[in-house]
Chains A and B, each alone.
Chain A
Amino acid sequence: MRQAQDGEESAFAEIVRRYSPRVFSVASRFFRQRSLVEEAAQEVFLKAFTQLGSFEGRGSLEGWLTRIATNTCLNMVRGAKRRPEFTVSDLTEDEQSWLDHQPIDRSEQRSVENNLVATDLADRLLSVLSPEDQQALLMIDGEKASIKEVAEATGWSESKVKVRAFRARRKVREAMEKLLGHRSKDRASEQVTR
Chain B
Amino acid sequence: MKDKHIIEVLDNASIKSLSETQVNEIQAHARECVSCRDAYDAARLSAVVLQSRAHATIEPSPFFQTRVMAAWREQQAVENVPAIWRLWNSAKVLVSTMAVTTAALAVVSLMAPASTTPLLDQSLSAYSAESVIMGQSSDDQMSYEQVLSTIYEDDDDAR
Report A's interface with B, CB cutoff 8 A: 9, 12-13, 16-17, 20-21, 24-25, 27-29, 32, 34, 37-38, 41-42, 45-46, 49, 99, 102-103, 110, 115-116, 118-119, 121-123, 125-126, 137-144, 166, 169-170, 172-174, 176-177, 180-181
Contacts and interface: CB of A to CB of B under 8 A. Distances in A.
Interface centre among B17, B38, B52, B71 (most CB of A within 10 A): B52
Contacts of B49: 118-119, 121-122, 125, 176
B72 A169 contact: no
Interface in B56-108: 56-61, 64-65, 67-69, 71-73, 75
Contacts of A174: 42
Interface in B8-24: 10-12, 14, 16-17
A150 to B, nearest CB: 12
The 9 A-B pairs at the shortest CB distance, nearest first, are namely A142-B54, A122-B53, A118-B52, A177-B42, A176-B42, A122-B49, A141-B14, A28-B57, A20-B60
A49 B68 CA distance: 11
Given A20-B65, A173-B10, A103 B52 contact: no
A123 to B, nearest CB: 7
Nearest to A114: B52
A42 B45 contact: no
A25 B53 CA distance: 11
B46 interface: yes
B68 A42 contact: yes
Given A38-B64, A42-B71, A169-B11, A141 B56 contact: no
Given A13-B65, A121-B49, A125-B49, A115 B72 contact: no
Given A46-B71, A125-B50, A176-B49, 13 more contacts: A20-B64, A38-B60, A38-B61, A42-B71, A102-B45, A110-B52, A118-B49, A126-B53, A141-B47, A142-B51, A174-B42, A180-B38, A180-B41
Contacts of B148: none
A144 B17 contact: yes
B59 to A, nearest CB: 6
SS class, residues of chain B in contact with chain A: helix
B33 interface: no
A176 B45 contact: yes
Given A28-B56, A143-B54, A166-B12, A172 B65 contact: no
Contacts of B17: 144
B50 A122 contact: yes
A87 to B, nearest CB: 16
B42 A180 contact: yes
Contacts of A138: 50, 53-54
